[in-house]
Amino acid sequence: LGPVSTQAKPFLADVCTALPIGRVALKLLGGKKQESTGKKSSTHDFPDDKIIIPVGITPQNLRNYTLYDVLGLGGEWGAAADTEAIKRAYHKAVLMYHPDKAQYKTADGKEDRTVFLKIQEAFNVLCNETKRRAYDSQLPFDESIPTEEKVIKSLAKGAPKFFKLFAPVFQRNARFALKKPVPDIGDMDTPISAVYKFYEYWVRFDSWRDFTGIGADYKPEDAHSREEKRYMQKENEKLAKKLKAKEMERLMNLVNLAQKFDPRIVADKERIKQAKEADKYAKENASKRNADEEAAAKAYFEKLEEEENQRKAANKMDKEKLKKLQSKLRNTFRKQLRFSATLGHGSGEYGIVSSADVELLCTNCQLDDLTEMTEALGGEAAAKDAEALKVDG
């Protein structure tokens, strides 16, 4: 291992954590978290038996292997490999393909180190977060999402089929998550609050997947001038942005599809609907009761108001009659006093009573007083005929 460690030192200095990592990534990819026993464990998060260095890599078929493949981390487990796992995989690969162990020759008989250099490149790239993300973004990726027809057919077999169908899809796409940990889709027993948090996470999903260079029409390194290179880079950036937007649209389609058919959300929406209907029914009944009570109260108060109006009308009629009678008695009193003047009792308009006193009496005397005074002077007859006037005493 002496030569291996010497060659690995330059790369170990640049080692940084790759995503996804550790127990969270293993959980996403179906790994089991080791239960705590209270004792310090000597095992690693990444299972050592999952590191399987492929046999038979040669310079001729090397192009058929990815950087993950040459380190024995092919398949879905590669995404879960952290720095420690990559270091162990690198050591295993070097032991098998170091030039001292596997000697390849070029066509002209010289030593061919391309396989070993590929292993070193794999270690260098996969241990660097930025380089690893850029590399992972270029790898073939299963972007498929279930169709509605397939979802409906799966749900026809029972609610658990929903999770069997969608869990692997979300797990595949979780490898590009910037925000960790990625929540699990759960099952039928998952609290509804956690279910909504799961979808909230994916609605706001932030992906590190980089589409730079994918499907690009231009190669800036082949430009003949600085201006041409800048133009090529801008055009490639435009294409990358379009692909990124398309990627986010694909993810939103996935989230919307899952939300639409998620049996837990469907059940919760039905529960909310029924609760609203029950509340509406209760409110309608309460409203009807209130309406009936209000109608009865309105009828009662309307009746009281009608009776009060009748009473007021009667009082008003009585007052008007009283007012007219008082006015009539005042006029009678004034006429009687004028007749007294014509009979020589006093020199004024009203005989011996001044005009001011007459008005004062008419204004302040009540009905009984006016009746008594006019009767004392001869009543209505004395207002029509002076001879009927009583002026004695």
Question: What DSSP letter does each residue of 353-377 carry, written as one string?
Answer: B-HHHHHHHHHH--HHHHHHHHHHT
Choose between 61 and 392: higher pLDDT: 61
pLDDT score for 57: 94
Side-chain half-sphere exposure of 252, counting CA atoms within 13 A? 9
> Tokens in use for 290?
């209130």
pLDDT score for 13: 36
Angle value at C-alpha 291, between 290 and 292, nearest 5 degrees: 90
- For 216-235, the pLDDT digits (tens) are 777 888 888 999 889 888 98
The radius of gyration of the chain from alpha carbons, rounded to an integer in Å, stands at 53
- Which of 386, 327, 318, 381 lies closest to 351, judged by CA? 386
- For 38-94, the pLDDT digits (tens) are 443 444 578 888 999 999 999 999 999 999 999 999 887 788 889 999 999 999 999
Q: How far from chain centre, in Å, is Cα 343?
A: 104
Q: What percent of the chain has pLDDT over 70?
A: 88
List of residues 6+ apart from 16 with CB closer than 8 A: 83, 127, 128, 129
